């Protein structure tokens, strides 16, 4: 845990995150040009999130690249904690994961942690079950390959997960959990066990298939503490440490601190929002780096580096040169805050329109079952 003016762990993200500090305290490596170049040799191009340093750090990616060069295969693992509607902050990791799946043509194991959300949130199991279903629709609609994607739901696939989680749990002490997550004696006992469940997919495919493939985990950096624990113990169980690739947290709508959250639905863009709602939320709440008056803005220019509309556009405008022009025009005062917001609104609405149509078709044609791992338990 990093103590400062900010907090960053799986259960709390607040304040202005100092990513340099995190990298040194967590012991991560930066995705520097050398490693990005090596990756590019294999993928042909770099995803915009890599070019823009949204994915910016890693653990052992060099080792994965060595092994890929030897002709070895790997699998992807990421997840979703189903406690509410999916918002734009969740999907950056998953869009990037989809790109990795396409580029490397690999299997993806996608964990839905209904147990975690039941234990940590003040919600009934019924509510969490409903969010699990709703969230699975959104994840599936992002376009993963159903033949190569396996959704696992902790409570549903418990028969497969639990024996492995036990082996993990036996290697973790309560003091490690307290130090990693800031828990106290008043945390419920389920929450103390939970990280064992999140470790299991790191090696589960190898258990099921009898292979020895490396695991690559794309994640939001707040999830790293779980896998620091995993990396310490899976070798004791006869598996290799997972490779991790980390993204920064997408800024909330009201300013570049903390992370986006759906607990206040006005402050996050949900994947189910319609065009009017998106327009209204961004116009009303998106933190602006513009000047107070039109005159000042034209004269002194705006500050794109703290402007949420600009920061978000990095996730939705694929073309680097278009983005660069917007940056420069905003900084020089040529582009106004309202104009920048409307560029963003149109981009998000285009994205959501397609997404919502795919989601509708998946639900209507009952296609989720193609994604859910067939339980043999």
Residues that bind ligand TRP (CB under 6 A): 10, 77-81, 111, 113, 116, 198, 217, 219, 223
Neighbours of 169 (CB within 10 A): 17
Whole-angstrom distance, CA of residue 296 vs CA of residue 304: 15
Tokens of 232: 């310490």
Torsion of CA 178, 85, 128, 12, to 10 degrees: 10
Neighbours of 133 (CB within 10 A): 14
Tokens of 191: 């929450």
Task: Check: CB of residue 258 under 8 Å from CB of residue 265.
Answer: no
Strand-pair category, 74-80 with 108-112: parallel
Which lies closer to ligand TRP via its Cβ, residue 221 or residue 340?
221
Residue 329 Cβ, how far from ligand TRP at the closest point, in Å?
A: 36
Which lies closer to ligand TRP via its Cβ, residue 239 or residue 330?
239
Residue 10 Cβ, how far from ligand TRP at the closest point, in Å?
A: 6
Which lies closer to ligand TRP via its Cβ, residue 108 or residue 278?
108
Neighbours of 373 (CB within 10 A): 18
Total residue count of the chain as it appears in this document: 377
Helix crossing, 174-181 with 189-199: angle to 10°? Answer: 90
Cα 70 to Cα 64, 99, 163: the distances in Å are 10, 22, 33
Which lies closer to ligand TRP via its Cβ, residue 133 or residue 287?
133
Cα 278 to Cα 85, 135, 266, 283, 337: the distances in Å are 15, 19, 10, 8, 16
236 burial via Cβ count (<10 Å: 0-12, 13-18, 19+): exposed
Residue 318 Cβ, how far from ligand TRP at the closest point, in Å?
A: 24
Helices (H) and strands (E) in the chain, counts: 17, 9
Which lies closer to ligand TRP via its Cβ, residue 217 or residue 345?
217
277 burial via Cβ count (<10 Å: 0-12, 13-18, 19+): middle
Whole-angstrom distance, CA of residue 41 vs CA of residue 52: 18
């Amino acid at each position: 845990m990093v103590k400062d003016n900010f907090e960053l762990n799986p259960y709390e993200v607040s304040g202005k995150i100092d990513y340099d500090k995190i990298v040194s305290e967590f012991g991560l490596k930066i995705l520097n040009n050398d490693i990005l170049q090596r990756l590019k040799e294999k993928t042909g191009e770099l995803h915009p999130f890599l070019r823009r340093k949204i994915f910016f750090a890693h653990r052992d990616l060099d080792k994965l690249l060595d092994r890929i060069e030897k002709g070895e295969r790997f699998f992807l693992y990421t997840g979703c904690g189903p406690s509410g509607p999916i918002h734009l902050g969740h999907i950056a990791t998953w869009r990037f994961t989809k790109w990795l799946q396409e580029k490397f043509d690999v299997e993806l194991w996608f964990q839905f942690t209904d147990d975690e959300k039941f234990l940590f949130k003040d919600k009934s199991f019924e509510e969490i079950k409903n969010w699990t279903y709703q969230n699975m629709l959104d994840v599936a609609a992002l376009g993963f390959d159903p033949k190569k994607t396996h959704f696992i739901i902790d409570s549903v696939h418990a028969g497969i997960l639990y024996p492995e989680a036990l082996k993990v749990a036996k290697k973790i002490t309560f003091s490690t959990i307290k130090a990693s997550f800031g828990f106290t004696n008043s945390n419920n006992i389920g929450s103390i066990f939970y990280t064992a469940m999140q470790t299991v997919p790191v090696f589960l495919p190898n258990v099921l298939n009898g292979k020895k493939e490396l695991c690559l985990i794309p994640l939001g950096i707040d999830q790293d503490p779980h896998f620091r624990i995993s990396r310490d113990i899976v070798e004791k169980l006869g598996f290799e440490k997972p490779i991790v690739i980390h993204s920064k947290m997408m800024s909330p709508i009201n300013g570049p601190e903390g992370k986006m959250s759906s607990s206040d639905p006005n402050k996050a863009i949900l994947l189910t929002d319609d065009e009017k709602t998106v327009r209204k939320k961004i116009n009303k709440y998106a933190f602006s780096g513009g000047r107070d008056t039109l005159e000042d803005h034209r004269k002194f220019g705006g500050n794109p580096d703290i402007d949420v509309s600009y920061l978000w556009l990095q996730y939705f405008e694929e073309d680097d040169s278009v983005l660069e022009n917007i940056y420069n025009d905003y900084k020089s005062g040529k582009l106004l805050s309202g104009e920048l917001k409307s560029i963003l609104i149109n981009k998000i609405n285009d994205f959501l329109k397609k997404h919502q149509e795919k989601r509708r078709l998946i639900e209507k044609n009952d296609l989720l079952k193609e994604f859910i791992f067939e339980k043999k338990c």
